[in-house]
Chain A
């Protein structure tokens, strides 16, 4: 049966009312749900979302610290920070990219084969970013840009701070240089500290004092929008942006005298070699020269591949620090030291004389060890032997002393171990001993020490090698009659903010004590004779000096040419010549400077090396006294 529906207006109205009330309740309930969600987001999770929004709107921009400045001993700036110019392109301001790049090529600011790379680089970055397309511009290029500037919208010059070495190549092996941070560098630094820093010390002082020079990086937060574009303040809400100022690196005050350094380098001229001059009373390194040199500014500005290849493939190896890393046979320069060892061991007296027939022969041996003077020096005592550089006298002395006594004695004045100068890369050289030979060779038959090997050690040949720094250091020990200071390049570290100056006091090592202190004077007297005596080997170089020089020449034999060097008959011939050496200190009575000079393939120490030492002495002693 079908139910007939009758329209009941009042009932419908009641139903509607009930439904409307239910609906209102549901509405209230659901709005309550939204409100509860808001409370969750805005009250319970407020801190969480605040952090997120802070991260959203603020980008951290690094503020790299100013690198410490390096001064020489007289306050002259050796390394500073100056603006360098780079060329940037901002894509959104460039009307026609291809035309713009074409113009840059036309005026020589861009290499033609770089265009594709630059275009790709620009496309990969955001259009409002100023993208560097050339890192360093020369003055000439800057002027080209300036003239054409109006035709190049979107192309700008921007500055960044770059390391600058006002003296260029002078002293580069002491100062070192900075360069862009490499994978290797990242292993030894805290990358967070270098966030924003472009360059890091690579060699020399720039590297060994990196920690002091670098300073502490800062940062600031800048407002950015969702695209990363930098924005001005939003409303007045800028107070929460954090700013941490960078702390500048500390300045270094060197012992080095850059003018003296230049004197040494000029005296070296085109020749390869090294000059080290020390203040014997505190270890101050007055000169640390290795030639040829190179311009560290190239590295600081970002060296080009071509320039770098030129430097690394140069047969003269300008990057090689000969003063510290070059190990050479010290040759005759060790004769005064050998004499001292003989006196100290009591195996010889100063007046004991020996006949020099022009060769030496060990007992029961027919091998002749030849003197440099074929006809011989005749009868010589210790003083004459040093003055004339008689080989036979020292062959005999060495044979008498034996290699182990020589080793112990030379070790006391620094041979065979690094001096501990405050830059890296120093080599220790070799002062041989029977012990040493056992560890140096693997084959048992090679581990035996032969008496003949002792004989040539007596004139600084054979296994004995030393760095120019070690030779200068040994001279300083003689000059002070036994005082022993660790060589130092940095005298003081100055905090640029407070001006506080922290001295690095000279580090004195255990004094070399002699049983008879009079022995010092015997040796010094003989060394003075080298530069003043009738038959002295360095008389010519010392002639006319207003002070007395105690010195010793040396000549070290060169045996082989490195196998990987290019063969060039003329060059090889030149490179087979002996190394010339000269060690000295002055004034002899009250020494103020000790020096070692090495000229690779220079021939004779007297003619090639001694005049260089003289030039440095004159500059240092006469300028100071006058």
Chain B
């Protein structure tokens, strides 16, 4: 057992190239980085087309990507125990900011999400995507797992406070992601299956209550998912146009820059939330399956790295980050293909927009920092 850890450095010392040694020194994981890089590159390619061949938004996105990579590399250098130590502070600051937004935030697109700090507009809910799982893991990491009922309830409370604040903004998509990130910590921490299924049962029972609490536009999104023809030029328009774009792409697509749905502006939000439909239209089934495969590789590698982490905190946070990444992918592609209601979740690393990209790569930076301290033993 101990030997396993003992000869690992030996074998590496001989086989590592200079580049790989640098990566190792920077706590970066090559395969994961390659998968993320490929996704981002593919994203830039399609964004150029989705933006109608305008270089402006494209360059801004490249800039954001660069910034996000910097954030990732920087966070990867932070020692895991420091991350663990700052978790409660980050969570507290996040909650305070969310309350601040609720009180004085800017209103954009009918929702109050932004905090204007004067020099930069800032979405505190983004912080919570990372702060919530870290806080949950912090709470659980020195307790015996699986969590007891009381501990589970505490964790749920930790999740609920920011999730409710965000849902009230209203930003159902982000609330979902934040809550998901926290719940993943519980699940990966070994929450008993019977509790899990009981929870799912309760959620199903609570659905009618949730329906009552939903905003009109949220209800409409659910209704139009069930039947987009209810309102083909209103709420159903997104769903109909996006499915036309994807369906008319066929197996091979219409070719880069040739998607009529996207280029003629039939497809709304084509460079942001609905960019997956542009991929479907221009690169077809093959292009979309290729991207899904890259995502699968990234999620799989991230889960593998999470499993390699030395301590519970690292495993739980890393695993949660990997699964949250997947939730982005599933919610977005599900929405664009008409499987899920329209929820404002971007396609990770591909959709135009800065905040989510920085948060995502910052998450991967944390994941890399955590995995840099491999476990001592293999089981």
The residue that A38 contacts in the complex, of B288, B326, B379, with Cβ under 8 A, is: B288
B contact residues around A235 at 8 Å (CB): 254-255, 257-258, 263
State whether the Cβ of A94 lies closer than 8 Å to any Cβ in chain B.
no
State whether the Cβ of A123 lies closer than 8 Å to any Cβ in chain B.
no
The residue that A10 contacts in the complex, of B143, B246, B379, with Cβ under 8 A, is: B379
Interface bits A52-82 vs B (CB < 8 Å: 1, else 0): 1110110000000000000000000000000
* One of A25-33, A337-345, A384-392 at the interface: A25-33
Interface bits B308-319 vs A (CB < 8 Å: 1, else 0): 000010011001
| Apart from A8-B144, A56-B244, 5 more pairs, CB < 8 Å | A7-B143, A16-B315, A52-B248, A224-B264, A226-B264
Cα(A27)–Cα(B249), bound, Å:
25
User: In the complex, how many angstroms separate the beta carbon of B4 from the nearest chain A beta carbon?
Assistant: 14
B contact residues around A6 at 8 Å (CB): 144
Given A31-B329, A49-B246, CB of A7 within 8 Å of CB of B142: yes
Cα(A387)–Cα(B279), bound, Å:
97
A contact residues around B152 at 8 Å (CB): none
Query: Once the chains bind, are A34 and B284 in contact (CB under 8 Å)?
Result: no
Cα(A223)–Cα(B266), bound, Å:
12
Closest chain B residue to A15 by CB distance?
B190
Q: Which of A32-59 contact B (CB under 8 A)?
A: 33-35, 37-39, 41-43, 45-46, 48-50, 52-54, 56-57
Given A20-B303, A42-B280, A42-B284, CB of A234 within 8 Å of CB of B247: no
Query: Once the chains bind, are B250 and A237 in contact (CB under 8 Å)?
Result: no
Cα(A340)–Cα(B280), bound, Å:
90
Given A23-B323, A27-B299, A223-B260, CB of A16 within 8 Å of CB of B190: yes
Dominant secondary structure at the A interface = helix
* One of B80-88, B218-226, B331-339, B357-365 at the interface: B331-339
State whether the Cβ of A188 lies closer than 8 Å to any Cβ in chain B.
no
The residue that B261 contacts in the complex, of A46, A57, A224, with Cβ under 8 A, is: A57
Given A5-B148, A49-B248, A224-B264, CB of A28 within 8 Å of CB of B255: no
Given A14-B379, A50-B250, CB of A33 within 8 Å of CB of B289: no
Closest chain A residue to B277 by CB distance?
A41
The residue that A43 contacts in the complex, of B251, B259, B306, B377, with Cβ under 8 A, is: B251
User: In the complex, how many angstroms separate the beta carbon of A5 from the nearest chain B beta carbon?
Assistant: 4
Closest chain A residue to B249 by CB distance?
A42
State whether the Cβ of B157 lies closer than 8 Å to any Cβ in chain A.
no
State whether the Cβ of A190 lies closer than 8 Å to any Cβ in chain B.
no
Given A8-B144, A37-B339, A226-B265, CB of A237 within 8 Å of CB of B254: yes
Query: Once the chains bind, are A35 and B190 in contact (CB under 8 Å)?
Result: no
State whether the Cβ of A236 lies closer than 8 Å to any Cβ in chain B.
yes
Cα(A262)–Cα(B127), bound, Å:
92
Given A49-B244, A237-B254, CB of A38 within 8 Å of CB of B144: no
Cα(A234)–Cα(B267), bound, Å:
14
Query: Once the chains bind, are B250 and A13 in contact (CB under 8 Å)?
Result: no
Closest chain A residue to B339 by CB distance?
A37
Q: Which of A222-273 contact B (CB under 8 A)?
A: 223-227, 231, 234-237
State whether the Cβ of B245 lies closer than 8 Å to any Cβ in chain A.
yes
State whether the Cβ of A19 lies closer than 8 Å to any Cβ in chain B.
yes
Query: Once the chains bind, are A42 and B250 in contact (CB under 8 Å)?
Result: yes
B contact residues around A56 at 8 Å (CB): 241, 244, 260-261, 264, 266
- Contacts from A to B (Cβ < 8 Å): 5-17, 19-20, 23-24, 27-28, 30-31, 33-35, 37-39, 41-43, 45-46, 48-50, 52-54, 56-57, 223-227, 231, 234-237
B contact residues around A48 at 8 Å (CB): 247
Closest chain B residue to A55 by CB distance?
B244
Closest chain B residue to A23 by CB distance?
B323
Query: Once the chains bind, are A234 and B264 in contact (CB under 8 Å)?
Result: yes
User: In the complex, how many angstroms separate the beta carbon of B24 from the nearest chain A beta carbon?
Assistant: 23
Query: Once the chains bind, are B248 and A46 in contact (CB under 8 Å)?
Result: yes
User: In the complex, how many angstroms separate the beta carbon of A240 from the nearest chain B beta carbon?
Assistant: 10
Q: How many residues of B contact A (CB 8 A)?
A: 62
State whether the Cβ of B188 lies closer than 8 Å to any Cβ in chain A.
yes
State whether the Cβ of B285 lies closer than 8 Å to any Cβ in chain A.
yes
A contact residues around B190 at 8 Å (CB): 12, 15-16, 19
Lowest 9 A-B CB distances belong to which pairs? A49-B247, A5-B144, A235-B258, A53-B248, A57-B260, A15-B190, A225-B264, A41-B247, A7-B144
Cα(A50)–Cα(B244), bound, Å:
7
Cα(A33)–Cα(B339), bound, Å:
9
Cα(A216)–Cα(B261), bound, Å:
32
- Contacts from B to A (Cβ < 8 Å): 142-146, 148, 184, 187-190, 241, 243-251, 254-255, 257-261, 263-266, 280, 284-285, 288-289, 292, 295-296, 299-300, 303-304, 306-307, 312, 315-316, 319, 323, 326, 329-330, 333-334, 337-339, 375, 377, 379
The residue that B188 contacts in the complex, of A8, A16, A223, with Cβ under 8 A, is: A16
The residue that A13 contacts in the complex, of B255, B264, B315, B334, with Cβ under 8 A, is: B315
Query: Once the chains bind, are B337 and A37 in contact (CB under 8 Å)?
Result: yes
Most buried by B among A10, A12, A24, A34: A34
Would you mind naming 24 contact pairs between A and B with Cβ atoms under 8 Å apart? Answer: A6-B144, A7-B144, A12-B189, A15-B145, A16-B307, A19-B187, A19-B188, A20-B304, A23-B187, A27-B296, A27-B323, A30-B326, A31-B330, A34-B292, A34-B334, A35-B288, A38-B246, A38-B337, A41-B247, A42-B280, A43-B250, A49-B246, A224-B264, A235-B258
User: In the complex, how many angstroms separate the beta carbon of B145 from the nearest chain A beta carbon?
Assistant: 5
Closest chain A residue to B144 by CB distance?
A5
User: In the complex, how many angstroms separate the beta carbon of B267 from the nearest chain A beta carbon?
Assistant: 8
User: In the complex, how many angstroms separate the beta carbon of B286 from the nearest chain A beta carbon?
Assistant: 9
User: In the complex, how many angstroms separate the beta carbon of B319 from the nearest chain A beta carbon?
Assistant: 6
Query: Once the chains bind, are B337 and A23 in contact (CB under 8 Å)?
Result: no
User: In the complex, how many angstroms separate the beta carbon of B233 from the nearest chain A beta carbon?
Assistant: 10
Given A24-B299, A35-B289, CB of A45 within 8 Å of CB of B258: no
Cα(A227)–Cα(B261), bound, Å:
12
Closest chain A residue to B243 by CB distance?
A41
B contact residues around A24 at 8 Å (CB): 299-300, 303
B contact residues around A225 at 8 Å (CB): 264-266
Cα(A225)–Cα(B187), bound, Å:
47
Cα(A54)–Cα(B250), bound, Å:
14
Cα(A28)–Cα(B148), bound, Å:
30
Query: Once the chains bind, are B243 and A49 in contact (CB under 8 Å)?
Result: yes
Query: Once the chains bind, are A34 and B330 in contact (CB under 8 Å)?
Result: yes
Query: Once the chains bind, are B247 and A50 in contact (CB under 8 Å)?
Result: yes
B contact residues around A31 at 8 Å (CB): 292, 295-296, 329-330
Closest chain A residue to B258 by CB distance?
A235
Query: Once the chains bind, are A231 and B264 in contact (CB under 8 Å)?
Result: yes
Closest chain B residue to A42 by CB distance?
B285
Query: Once the chains bind, are B306 and A20 in contact (CB under 8 Å)?
Result: yes
User: In the complex, how many angstroms separate the beta carbon of A504 from the nearest chain B beta carbon?
Assistant: 50
A contact residues around B142 at 8 Å (CB): 7
Cα(A40)–Cα(B91), bound, Å:
43
Query: Once the chains bind, are B258 and A234 in contact (CB under 8 Å)?
Result: yes
Cα(A41)–Cα(B288), bound, Å:
12
Given A30-B330, A31-B292, A38-B288, CB of A52 within 8 Å of CB of B244: yes
Closest chain A residue to B268 by CB distance?
A226
A contact residues around B306 at 8 Å (CB): 16, 20
A contact residues around B146 at 8 Å (CB): 15
Cα(A8)–Cα(B244), bound, Å:
54
Cα(A27)–Cα(B255), bound, Å:
29
B contact residues around A7 at 8 Å (CB): 142-145
Query: Once the chains bind, are B285 and A53 in contact (CB under 8 Å)?
Result: no
Closest chain B residue to A34 by CB distance?
B333
User: In the complex, how many angstroms separate the beta carbon of B155 from the nearest chain A beta carbon?
Assistant: 15
Query: Once the chains bind, are B338 and A38 in contact (CB under 8 Å)?
Result: no
Query: Once the chains bind, are A46 and B264 in contact (CB under 8 Å)?
Result: no
Given A42-B280, A46-B250, CB of A57 within 8 Å of CB of B266: yes
A contact residues around B245 at 8 Å (CB): 53
Given A223-B264, A236-B258, CB of A27 within 8 Å of CB of B326: yes
Closest chain A residue to B300 by CB distance?
A24
B contact residues around A30 at 8 Å (CB): 326, 330
Closest chain B residue to A56 by CB distance?
B266
